Structure 1
Amino acid sequence: MNHDPAPSTLRVFVALAPPDEAKDELAAALKPAYAAYPRLRWNRIEDWHVTLAFLGELPSTAVPLLQPVLARQAASHPALQLGLRGGGHFDERLLWSGIDGDLDGLHQLAADVRALVRSCGIEFGERPLRPHLTLARSRRDDSTSVPQAAPGLADFVGRRWPAERLHLVGSNIGRGPGPIR
């Protein structure tokens, strides 16, 4: 039985998650990179997501306010056809897979989600949307693995999927993201 008290704050974000089949496809394509770059801090496949809005550190009490309004938003928005495609890196530290498909719709959904969160009285810093799925991060003493691994994703094209559900995700530093229940 877990007796850890619930945290008073969480790092919260709103995201879309690819279905298992799309994640499995990408994981299979990454097998050579997993073996070739073992020092990278690879994200767990079950944590893969596309962030629409990073809300930052929020009181745990804000979460129940967001869940129903985000569920209504997802239900009222047409499903986007998205896929994983290619890859690259940010600042030699973060390896990512790109997003393909209805990118205009993705940008509109992100704008709608951000406006909806603000309408709930929750303020957060605005980061530009750079649609991607984070795969791995480098260690501080390794500035070469991420740029060397990125070209291996260049030819990857995954299957399309309907992105129908918004996920409200919370993370504790060091423990990684997970769905908020």
Structure 2
Amino acid sequence: MDDHPDSRTLRVFVALAPPDDAKDELARALRPAYAGYPRLRWNRIEDWHITLAFLGEQSSTAVPLLRSALAAAAPSRPALQLGLRGGGYFDQRLLWTGVDGDLEGLHRLAADVRDLARSCGIDFRERPLNPHLTLARSRRDDSVSVPLAAAGLTGFVGRPWRTERLHLVGSNIGRGPGPIHYRDIEAWRLGVAAAPA
């Protein structure tokens, strides 16, 4: 059964995903928050990602063009050394952990991905890149849990990790009251790691 009411469109974004051991490390650091703020809508660990380009609702004909372009480009883009660090929030409702490491390379990769999407005729709203990994969202009547949970992450510093793949992801965001779920449409191995500066 199709997740989408209009099978001619798909909501998509391009992202990086931390490796399992980095996600496990962060999940351990979040244990007090999981226990302390059970009303937060926590993202599933398998859905954790760092968005490079949110492309929104796209036609089913645009997605194959983008897949081809990303498949051709990924091997020539260097893998990056990144890490997860600290915590913060947007609008007192969205909890995130920050991204550390080769941020210059991350911004370059995001710009490349956005240029590729435009070259495929994909129209999307440009958003400034603010590298983060979304962890949870609060309910409308709860303006305190997210800031408190973010304060508990202030000292978190995750181990560095190397990006392996570029992911094209589809989501069911806005498809009803349930949790947001993501699924990989496809992922491609990035090229060799950039030489240390």
Do both share a fold (TM > 0.5)? Answer: yes
Partners of 1:43 and 1:5 lie apart in 2 by 19
The 5 Å alignment of 1:3-82 reads 3-4=1-2, 7-82=7-82
Q: Judge conservation of contact 2:62–2:120 (CA < 8 Å) in 1.
A: no
Moved over 3 A (4+): 3-6
Moved more, 60-69 or 114-123: 60-69
Partners of 1:56 and 1:96 lie apart in 2 by 20
Residue equivalent to 2:191: none
Residue equivalent to 1:150: 150
Question: What is the TM-score normalised by the length of structure 2?
Answer: 0.87
Residue equivalent to 2:195: none
Following superposition, the deviation at residue 10 of structure 1 comes to 1.5
The 5 Å alignment of 1:128-167 reads 128-167=128-167
Following superposition, the deviation at residue 96 of structure 1 comes to 0.2
Partners of 2:47 and 2:12 lie apart in 1 by 14
Write out per-residue CA displacement over residues 71-115 of structure 1, whole angstroms, 9 at most, x where no aligned residue.
222210111100101111111000000000000000010001100
Q: Secondary structure at the match of 1:70?
A: helix
Is 1:97 matched up with 2:97? yes
Partners of 2:110 and 2:2 lie apart in 1 by 33
Amino acid of the residue matched to residue 105 of structure 1? G
Partners of 1:115 and 1:4 lie apart in 2 by 30
More helix by share: 1
Following superposition, the deviation at residue 159 of structure 1 comes to 1.2
Write out per-residue CA displacement over residues 36-69 of structure 1, whole angstroms, 9 at most, x where no aligned residue.
0000000000000000000011012222111121
Segments of 5+ residues of structure 1 without an aligned counterpart are none
Residue equivalent to 1:180: 185
Percent of paired sites with the same residue: 75
Q: Secondary structure at the match of 2:61?
A: helix
Amino acid of the residue matched to residue 181 of structure 2? G
Q: Judge conservation of contact 1:19–1:161 (CA < 8 Å) in 2.
A: yes
Following superposition, the deviation at residue 164 of structure 1 comes to 2.9
Amino acid of the residue matched to residue 139 of structure 1? R
Partners of 1:5 and 1:46 lie apart in 2 by 19
Following superposition, the deviation at residue 11 of structure 1 comes to 1.2
Partners of 1:47 and 1:4 lie apart in 2 by 19
Q: Judge conservation of contact 2:3–2:172 (CA < 8 Å) in 1.
A: no
Q: Secondary structure at the match of 2:53?
A: strand
